[in-house]
């Protein structure tokens, strides 16, 4: 099977366009094998390690899913067949990594799948807005 870096996978991020302040933001990231061949997806961690990164309009990172987490140096191989989708889900409670509720405004979200240390798979950066209640 070809290694992942030789493939043409698609990483898609799904997040609401706007969310009321204080309401958890649901986040989904999908990895799809868009090639005609199976791919080896080499993932880090006991459970597959993935990160979501929220950035304020100023460019400052306000939240990372994996902030302060330890990702074990365990590698696991998953075979992803053509057309198969692997999904990663979480939600963000609108608090920054210091625990403070962020203000309403424009933010961006990026998804990252931690792979074998050689390649990292990232989604496009997606804009969204937190509106006052």
Phi, psi of 66 (to 5 degrees): -95, 10
Which tokens belong to 116?
Answer: 């074998």
The confidence score (pLDDT) of residue 114 equals 80
For residues 86-104, one letter each, b for 16 or more C-beta atoms within 10 angstroms of the residue's C-beta and e for the rest, the string is bebeeebebebeeeeebeb
Question: Given the structure tokens 């979200």, which residue do they identify?
Answer: 109
The confidence score (pLDDT) of residue 7 equals 44
The confidence score (pLDDT) of residue 4 equals 38
The confidence score (pLDDT) of residue 9 equals 66
Q: For the chain, how are helix, strand and coil distributed in percent, rounded to 5?
A: 0, 50, 45
The confidence score (pLDDT) of residue 24 equals 97
Task: Please state, in angstroms and as integers, the Cα–Cα distance from residue 54 to each residue in 7, 46, 59, 65, 133, following that order.
Answer: 27, 24, 10, 9, 20
The confidence score (pLDDT) of residue 125 equals 94
What is the residue-level pLDDT of the chain in tens, covering all 133 positions?
A: 333 334 456 889 999 999 999 999 999 999 998 889 898 888 877 676 789 999 999 999 999 998 877 776 677 788 889 999 989 999 999 999 999 999 999 999 999 988 765 567 889 999 999 999 8
The confidence score (pLDDT) of residue 48 equals 67
């Amino acid at each position: 099977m070809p290694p992942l870096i030789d493939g043409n996978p698609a990483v898609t991020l799904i997040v609401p366009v706007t969310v009321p302040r204080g309401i958890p933001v649901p986040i989904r990231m999908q990895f799809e094998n868009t090639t005609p061949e199976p791919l080896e997806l080499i993932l880090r961690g006991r459970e597959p390690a993935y990160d979501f990164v929220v950035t304020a309009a100023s460019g400052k990172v306000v939240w990372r899913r994996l902030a302060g987490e330890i990702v074990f140096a365990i590698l696991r191989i998953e075979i992803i067949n053509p057309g198969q989708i692997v999904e990663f889900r979480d939600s963000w409670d609108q608090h920054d990594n210091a625990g403070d509720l962020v203000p309403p405004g424009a933010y961006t979200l990026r998804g990252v799948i931690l792979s074998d240390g050689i390649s990292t798979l990232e989604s496009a950066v997606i804009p969204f807005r937190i509106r006052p209640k």
